[in-house]
Amino acid sequence: MDHPTAPAPAAALPSVTVERRVEWSDTDAAGHHHFSAVLRWAEAAEAALLRGLGLDGLFGSIPRVHFEADYLTRLWFGDTVRVELRVDRVGTSSLHYAFDVHGPEGRAAAGRMSVVHSAATAKGAAPWPEEARRLLTGTGPQHPQTLL
């Protein structure tokens, strides 16, 4: 008797979690994190993700085209924060991330960041190379990292 084969589960999009501390240089005159620190933390998580996927050759050819963040609570010098970055969608030449930043009191920031594949000397965007597309769409969660 033949048994129907269940469809294979869809491959999960890549993600990474990075834990770090709020450094003095991350704070502003009020003593809590400066709004720009969240962008740097999201980019550091992106770098960890791409390195983990073996895609660090993309650096220099993935300019940012969009960044947005909602700031939910303050983070203070010395706080441990957890940055969770996820690939949200991969377009023909675009890559869209979503991220959350968690601190001692829970979710402190959330946002989105988009990049496009475009060589430094190119006049526009170019489609993702086949291997990059494969890795960006089907490798699932990567190992957590600590940057303390």
Q: pLDDT value at position 8?
A: 38
Q: pLDDT value at position 11?
A: 62
52-76: pLDDT as tens digits: 999 999 998 999 999 999 999 999 9
Q: Measured at the alpha carbon of residue 36, what is the angle toward residues 42 and 113, in degrees to the nearest 5?
A: 40
User: How many Å apart are CA 146 and CA 55, to the nearest integer?
Assistant: 20
Q: Which of 132, 42, 47 is nearest to 90 (CA)?
A: 132
* DSSP H helical ranges for the chain: 35-52, 130-138
DSSP 73-114: S--BTT-EEEEEEEEEEE-SSEEEEEEEEEETTEEEEEEEEE
pLDDT exceeds cutoff 70 at 2: no
Instruction: Between 147 and 78, name the one with better pLDDT.
Output: 78
3-state secondary structure (DSSP) of residue 11: coil
14: which 2 tokens?
């890549």
113: which 2 tokens?
């960041």
| Domain annotation for the chain: domains and CATH numbers | 15-147 (3.10.129.10)
The length of the chain in residues reads 148
Per cent of the chain over pLDDT 90 is 78
